Structure 1
Amino acid sequence: MREGAVHSDFSAIGSGEFIERTFGYNRLRTESNRTKKDWDHIRAVMLLVGAAEVRLRRAAEEEEEREPPPPQPPSHHSNHQFASMKNKFFNEITHLPNHKLKMPMWAVGAIVVVVLALVACLGFCIYKKCFIKGKKPKKVRERKGGRGRRKKDKEGEEAEEKKEGEDGKEEEEKEFFGKLEYTLDYNFTENQLIVGILQAQDLPAMDMGGTSDPYVKVYMLPDKKKKFETKVQRKNLCPVFNETFTFKIPYNELGGQTLVLQVFDFDRFGKHDVIGDLKIPMNTIDLGQPIHEWKDLVGGEKEEQEKLGDICISLRYVPTAGKLTVNIMEAKNLKKMDVGGLSDPFVKVVLQHNGKRLKKKKTSVKQNTLNPYFNESFSFEIPFSQIQKVQVLITVYDYDKLGSNDPIGKCWIGYGASGVGLRHWSDMLANPRRPVAQWHTLLPEEEVDAALKAPIR
């Protein structure tokens, strides 16, 4: 029985394993001098030991099969596990004695900071991956829908801008430029149109000080040959003029003309600004009786500056002799005054001292030319004590045999002048006994006369 059980156990563990466990039984048997009986006892003992070992192993396996598996710890969220591991790590670090840590506390703090930074980065990555990634389709939808909204908003803005532009145009149309009182009368016996400029009110301020220096220019269209101007009213937004001007025009020619009343702001050192104007077509009014009325000024269109031409003048002054020499050298590009497209120009030179006329001279007439050459000199006796307040007025006329001579243009040199006129005079005084030549642009006669009438600042 025992031997059969042992053999059963031996067959269970296998012959190869048994031979290994008996330390090479066959090899020992051949090499040893023991008797067969002794080896039978040894073999029996080894079989018993092997059988016992097999039984113990089987018993252990059966016991393991009977016992239930050890309960696994309940699964927690990864964040809870990470938090518990982190707390355990920090507790172990804080409870480690300094002799085991073998590093200063600042190093521990640095490690803690690094760990916290890593934790923050990890948390940010988790948040970005879990939450932001899931919101992308919504953003795309919002973007696609936003295009329509932006287009509608843009159209709305354009509509508002268009509306504002229309409102701005209405405001410009409603802008007020003041009003002008005038009179019109026609003398049928003398063929004269009499224009009275009485006063203006509520003119806009054109100067920095909140005032204006208004005057009125009166002329007929399309013929601009004859122009009149009122006196300049200094610093006045409600000026009173009370001036009368006369145009000699046959009644049968009057219907095709337009009367222009143009209000300017005088500027001594620059171009005069248009405040407003009135245009009165003669064929729309009844001149059978005098007209007296107020009318609102319309935003004035700047009168196109006609190119009247240029003139070259040479000045020479000898202080010791008190002698001023004015040489009218030549002119160019003069305005066409005759029907044939030419002019018959001549030059008048007027010498004034402190606004008082002293002498006047004239050149010869140059026939049928717009670029006359004169080279004519005129001498004036002016003491050195008076030269500072001398004015030289140069006027170019178109000679007319049958009527009055028409002014082409005018310029002004000397005391109170500005720009080129002042610079030419200063150069002459700075270079005594030496002739100084300069080109001057001709201006409308009435514009120069208005500047001469204005007080010198």
Structure 2
Amino acid sequence: MHLVSLTHRARRAAESEPEPAPPPPPPPSHHSSHNFLNMKNKFFNELGHLPNHKMSMPMWAIGAIVVVVLALVGCFAFCVYKKCLGGKKKAKKVRERKGGRLRRKKEGEGEQAEEEKKEGEGEEQEREYFGKLEYTLDYNFTENQLIVGILQAQDLPAMDIGGTSDPYVKVYMLPDKKKKFETKVQRKNLCPVFNETFTFKIPFNDLAGQTLVLQVFDFDRFGKHDVIGEIKIPMNSIDLGQPIHEYKDLVGGEKEEQEKLGDICISLRYVPTSGKLTVCIMEAKNLKKMDVGGLSDPFVKVVLQHNGKRLKKKKTTVKQNTLNPYFNESFSFEIPFAQIQKIQVLITVYDYDKLGSNDAIGKCWIGFGASGVGLRHWSDMLANPRRPVAQWHTLLPEEEVDAALKAPIR
């Protein structure tokens, strides 16, 4: 019985004994627990004092702060908008306004400058002096002739580097300019005396629509002749019932544009041993139209001069209705070698007219005293004896060549 009770007691103790639990964590130390409690107490104390501090600020101050903050935010947003979006429009308007002002200013300055320039040019033209020309006019009613006398010029401006001029006067009628006259060239003279007379055969009834032009030029052997001054006389503004003698001031003028008269091809050959000079008129091209139908009837006259005296002259045949005639005609002249250096060959192209006088289309000259192509062609011929040397020459007005021939050779 005692053994049974012991067994029963042991079984009951085993059943009543609980299952072993996991070991509990080590208890925190005394120092860590103390810090945690202090922080907790401080936090709740501050939390409890915070509402009391806010409530100490009045409500109107909080409202004012809110209003100010909103106003600042609104101003900032408005400035950003104007800066980014309105700046371009404003800049464009400003540029347009400035551009308009600048344009108006420039236009005003341009008009003012133009007016001042015109006034200055007018004053300069009034101050500029071109000299005077003395001339006479007389009309012969029985012969239907207008007689123009060129007497003298006074106080001409100096056109050359040396302070002088080489003046001559060109006389012609507008608008046809068919017949022109020129005085002799007066070398190095600002007060030249001409005393030359020229005659235009024009019916009196045809004079009313024409203008007499007196142009004073400065002769230049190696370049274009410069206009010194001119006088234009409308024939319907004067009374030709009695002779006219006037002394008028020259006015500034521009040289008339050189009219193209055409070109001519000439071949020269000289044999020193026999003294034979051969001039071959080969062809011409682009001649001036002289007839009503727009063509011409050209022929060529060749004149040989020595020291200003005519020795011989020859003519080609007439080529009908053409501006580009082909001649291929040769003429021979006996010229001793001792005289060849002083020989001048004058070539004149004429338009043949059955009913009236033949009109000169253009002229050129080769040999002693010539310049440019005329001098070079002559020199090439002398440098190549017995060989023909061909060269194209540009035709010039007959009056211009005649004036150059009259001028003293330097």
TM-score by length of 2: 0.72
- Of residues 383, 387, 396, the one that matches 2:349 is 396
Which SS does the other structure have where 1:385 is aligned?
Answer: coil
* Matched residue SS, 2:120: helix
Offset at residue 236 of structure 1 (A)? 1.1
SS at match of 1:359: strand
**Residue 168 of structure 1, CA deviation:** 2.5
Task: Tell me the distance in 2 between the aligned counterparts of 1:156 and 1:255.
Answer: 46
Shift of 1:163: 5.9
Partner Cα separation in structure 2 for residue 182 and residue 408 of structure 1: 29
The counterpart of 2:121, out of the listed 169, 184, 187, is 169
Measured in 2, the distance between the counterparts of 1:205 and 1:171 equals: 21
CA deviation after TM superposition for structure 1 residue 161, in Å = 4.5
In the alignment, what sits opposite 1:116? none
CA distance in structure 2 between the aligned counterparts of 1:155 and 1:256, rounded to whole angstroms: 44
Cα distance in 1 for residues equivalent to 2:170 and 2:296 = 25
State the distance in 2 between where 1:390 and 1:299 align.
39
Q: Secondary structure at the match of 1:417?
A: coil
Task: State the distance in 1 between where 2:284 and 2:245 align.
Answer: 44
Q: What is the Cα deviation at residue 440 of structure 1?
A: 0.2
Q: Who is 1:248 aligned against?
A: 201
* 1:453 pairs with 2:402: no
Partner residue, 2:182: 229
> Which of residues 298, 301, 309 is equivalent to 1:345?
298
Q: Distance in 2 between matches of 1:260 and 1:441?
A: 26
Report deviation, 1:155.
8.8
Q: Matches of 1:392 and 1:418 in 2, distance apart?
A: 13
- Other-structure match for 1:198: 151
Q: Considering Cα pairs closer than 8 Å and 6+ residues apart, tell me whether 1 or 2 has the greater RCO.
A: 2
| 1:319-334 alignment runs, 5 A limit | 319-334=272-287
CA distance in 2, matches of 1:186, 1:195: 9
Question: How big is the shift at 1:445?
Answer: 0.5
- Distance between the aligned counterparts of 2:353 and 2:361, measured in 1? 12
Describe the superposition over 1:10-64 as per-residue Cα deviations: whole angstroms up to 9, x where unpaired: xxxxxxxxxxxxxxxxxxxxxxxxxxxxxxxxxxxxxxxxxxxxxxxxxxxxxxx
**TM-score, scaled to structure 1:** 0.65
Unaligned 5+ segments in structure 1 are 1-143
Match of 2:219 among 266, 281, 291: 266
Q: Give the alignment of 1:311-322 within 5 angstroms.
A: 311-322=264-275
* Residue 356 of structure 1: how far off its partner (Å): 1.6
Which residue in 2 is equivalent to 1:436?
A: 389
Other-structure match for 2:25: none
Aligned-pair CA distance for 1:214: 0.6
More helix by share: 1
- How many angstroms apart in 2 are the aligned matches of 1:269 and 1:223? 29
Q: 1:372 aligns with which of 325, 336, 339?
A: 325
- Please list the CA deviations of residues 373-410 of structure 1 after superposition, one character each: whole Å capped at 9, or x if unmatched: 00000001111111111110000011111111111100
Q: Find 2:241's aligned residue among 288, 291, 305.
A: 288
In 2 relative to 1, CA 184–321 (structure 1 residues): closer, same or farther, beyond 3 Å? Answer: same
Q: 1:354 Cα shift?
A: 2.1
Deviation, structure 1 residue 159: 7.6
Runs of 4+ in 1 over 4 A off after TM superposition: 150-164
Amino acid at match of 1:430: A
Q: Classify the secondary structure of the residue corresponding to 1:392.
A: strand
> Which residue number corresponds to residue 238 of structure 1?
191
2:134 to 181, 200, 212: 181
Gaps of 5+ in 2: 1-93
Report the 3-state secondary structure (helix = DSSP H, G, I; strand = E; otherwise coil) of the residue aligned with 2:136: strand
Q: Residues 256 and 429 of structure 1: is their aligned pair in 2 closer, same or farther, counting only changes over 3 Å?
A: same
Show CA shifts across 1:102-154 (max 9, x none). Answer: xxxxxxxxxxxxxxxxxxxxxxxxxxxxxxxxxxxxxxxxxx9xx99x97998
Structure 2 residue corresponding to 1:220, chosen from 173, 179, 182 = 173
Residues of 2 paired with 1:283 and 1:427: CA distance? Answer: 53
% same residue: 89
Structure 1 segment 78-93 matched on structure 2, within 5 A: none
Alignment-mate amino acid for residue 219 of structure 2: F
In structure 1, C-alpha distance between the alignment counterparts of 2:391 and 2:202, rounded to whole Å: 40
RMSD (Å) for aligned C-alpha atoms: 2.1
Equivalent residue number for residue 259 of structure 2: 306
Count of aligned pairs: 312
Residue 49 of structure 2 is matched in structure 1 by none
Task: List per-residue Cα deviations over 1:261-316 (Å, max 9, x = no partner).
Answer: 11100011111111111111111111111111111111112112111100000001
Q: 1:278: which partner in 2?
A: 231
What CA distance in whole angstroms lies between the structure 2 residues aligned with 1:433 and 1:313? 16
Distance apart, 1:432 and its partner CA: 0.9
